[in-house]
């Protein structure tokens, strides 16, 4: 008898090897990024070794994961010959594409041209990047020495009514984001980014007006990036963050440079890339060195979260204490307008969910006593925060997000009645806040509560929680 034919998908196998992925780690990465239960851990063995072709959208999800690891685009059609790369004409590209040019105003205008060519109905899907591809996009901040500011533009002066209008819109959009969440109005804020880019491209401005436009662009791109992050559009978020970083650099806008680097750090950690988060968080701290105390405090709070995710609990606590010390030195007249939200309690609550993140990781590793001690710290901090706010007062997204973390802490701690009570407070907020990032935390909570349905409070809550999540916009 002859040998059975070799059905190995050699192309898939080669890409997995290059990306450092085994079949099980590929499945785990897909489940981490797209939701637990998306894929059985043994399925990629069948794809690789027996030539199996997964059902849609798994080919696209697999290509996404491999692309993210390699820092270049790999399509489903490359991994499985004959598979369509996209059913709707969407162009897939890395968030860092075109972000490797010199850190000059001329390069920023090339990025502007790319956004404008994409148009308001942008058919591109940006893949988030990590590792080398991520660090290359922000490489100017990762050296031993801090980068020099961009071109020496004069201090901004009120000399253009159109720029007055642009600047006046930014604080209102930031407040709307706090109340309605990142998925609400993301397209509108993105359109404002393009509008400012269009004004910049038209040219003919004084140097002072150019600087004002760059500052407004940095503010809007940061806001668009944060909204996209909250909306679960990670590659788009990075694209906006990279754009804002370049505009801030060109304007010599150090506070915003530090702020965006800290946002990138927090995003990286949220995606499971703690090493990237630490690298970016440390860069943000160095860049923020001469900024207002409130900016330094905010940056340090993000670095503390990265330390928690990396398992550096003592360093997390030291960095949190340092952030509180910085905020105590605050001079409100030096604060950027966008630092309106930061209070000592906000820092405490950020430390609270950092402690719960670390505590859940420690409990999962088998060190229950140590993990529960961290959970207690995190719960105590979050109980001082926004989770119990009435639905008719400000900062509803913060209340939703902190409530989800507090419920996760209680669940890991075995305090199921408390977890259910906190979740009950969070559910009505889902009707008014469009925050897929917060909803994803509640989805994780629902998954963990399903294993504890013998508890009557859990059994009563689960149908309401699952129905509320099912009603969330796709």
Structure confidence at residue 385 (pLDDT):
96
Phi first, then psi, for residue 94 (nearest 5°) are -70, 145
Whether 80 is covered by a domain: the verdict is: yes
Mean residue pLDDT across the chain: 90
- Mean pLDDT for 361-381 is 96
Residue-wise pLDDT tens digits, 22-40: 999 999 888 776 656 778 8
Residue-wise pLDDT tens digits, 41-59: 899 999 999 889 998 878 8
Instruction: Give the model's confidence band at 86: pLDDT under 50 very low, under 70 low, under 90 confident, else very high.
Output: low
Instruction: Give the model's confidence band at 366: pLDDT under 50 very low, under 70 low, under 90 confident, else very high.
Output: very high
Whether 426 is covered by a domain: the verdict is: no
Structure confidence at residue 87 (pLDDT):
47
Rounded to whole angstroms, what are the CA distances from 150 to 47, 140, 211, 241, 251? Answer: 50, 12, 10, 17, 6
pTM for this predicted structure: 0.84
User: Rounded to whole angstroms, how far apart are CA atoms 398 and 194?
Assistant: 28
Whether 429 is covered by a domain: the verdict is: no
Whether 35 is covered by a domain: the verdict is: yes
Does 408 score more than 80 pLDDT?
Answer: yes
Rounded to whole angstroms, what are the CA distances from 54 to 40, 83, 154, 180, 318? Answer: 11, 10, 57, 37, 47
What's the domain count of the chain? 1
Whether 38 is covered by a domain: the verdict is: yes
Residue-wise pLDDT tens digits, 409-443: 999 999 999 999 999 999 999 999 999 999 999 99
Q: Is 127 helix (H, G, I), strand (E, B) or coil?
A: strand
Domain of 62 in residue numbering reads as 10-87
Query: For the chain, what percentages of helix, strand and coil (3-state, to nearest 5) are there?
Result: 70, 0, 30
Pick from 218, 248, 262, 289: nearest CA to 150: 248
Structure confidence at residue 4 (pLDDT):
72
Whether 97 is covered by a domain: the verdict is: no
Instruction: Give the model's confidence band at 305: pLDDT under 50 very low, under 70 low, under 90 confident, else very high.
Output: very high
Structure confidence at residue 21 (pLDDT):
94
Ranges 55-64, 374-383, 465-474: which has the least confidence? 55-64
Whether 82 is covered by a domain: the verdict is: yes
Does 251 score more than 80 pLDDT?
Answer: yes
Residue-wise pLDDT tens digits, 118-169: 776 666 778 888 888 899 999 999 875 666 665 555 554 556 888 999 999 9
Whether 34 is covered by a domain: the verdict is: yes
Check which CATH number belongs to the domain holding 34 and give it.
1.10.260
């Amino acid at each position: 008898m002859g040998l059975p034919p070799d059905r190995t998908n050699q192309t898939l196998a080669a890409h997995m090897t290059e990306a450092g992925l085994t079949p099980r780690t590929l499945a785990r990465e897909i489940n981490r990024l797209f939701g637990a239960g998306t894929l059985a851990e043994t399925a990629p063995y069948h794809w690789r070794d027996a030539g199996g072709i997964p059902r849609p959208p798994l080919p696209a999800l697999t290509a996404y994961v491999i692309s993210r690891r390699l820092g270049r685009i790999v399509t489903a059609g490359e991994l499985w010959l004959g598979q369509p790369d996209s059913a709707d004409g969407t162009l897939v590209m890395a968030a860092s594409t075109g972000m490797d040019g010199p850190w000059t105003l001329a390069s920023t205008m090339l990025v502007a041209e790319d956004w404008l060519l994409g148009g308001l109905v942008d058919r591109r899907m940006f893949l988030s990047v990590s590792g080398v591809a991520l660090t290359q996009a922000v490489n100017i901040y990762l050296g031993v020495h801090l980068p020099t500011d961009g071109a020496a533009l004069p201090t901004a002066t009120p000399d253009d009514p159109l720029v007055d209008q642009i600047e006046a819109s930014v604080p209102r959009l930031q407040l709307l984001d706090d109340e309605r969440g990142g998925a609400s109005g993301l397209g509108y804020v993105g359109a404002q980014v393009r509008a400012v880019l269009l004004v910049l491209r038209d040219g003919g401005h004084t140097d002072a007006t150019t600087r004002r436009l760059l500052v407004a662009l940095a503010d809007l791109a940061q806001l668009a990036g944060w909204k996209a992050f909250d909306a679960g559009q990670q590659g788009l978020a990075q694209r906006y963050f990279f754009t804002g970083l370049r505009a801030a650099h060109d304007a010599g806008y150090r506070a915003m440079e530090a702020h965006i680097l800290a946002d990138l750090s927090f995003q990286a950690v949220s995606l499971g890339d703690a090493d990237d988060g630490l690298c970016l968080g440390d860069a943000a701290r160095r860049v923020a060195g001469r900024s207002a105390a409130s900016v330094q405090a905010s940056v340090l709070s993000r670095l503390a979260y990265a330390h928690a995710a990396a398992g550096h609990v003592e360093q997390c606590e030291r960095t949190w204490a340092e952030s509180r010390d910085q905020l105590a030195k605050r001079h409100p007249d030096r604060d950027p307008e966008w630092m309106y939200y930061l209070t000592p309690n906000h820092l405490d609550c950020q430390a609270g969910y950092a402690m719960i993140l670390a505590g859940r990781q420690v409990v999962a590793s088998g060190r229950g006593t140590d993990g529960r001690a961290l959970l207690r710290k995190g719960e105590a901090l979050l109980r001082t925060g926004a989770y119990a706010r009435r639905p008719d007062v400000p900062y509803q997204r913060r209340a939703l997000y902190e409530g989800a973390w507090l419920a996760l802490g209680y669940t890991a701690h075995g305090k199921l009645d408390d977890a259910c009570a906190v979740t009950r407070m969070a559910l009505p907020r889902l009707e008014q806040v469009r925050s897929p990032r917060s909803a994803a935390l509640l989805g994780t909570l629902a998954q963990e509560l399903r294993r504890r349905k013998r508890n009557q409070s859990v059994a009563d809550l689960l149908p309401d929680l699952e129905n509320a999540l099912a009603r969330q916009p796709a």
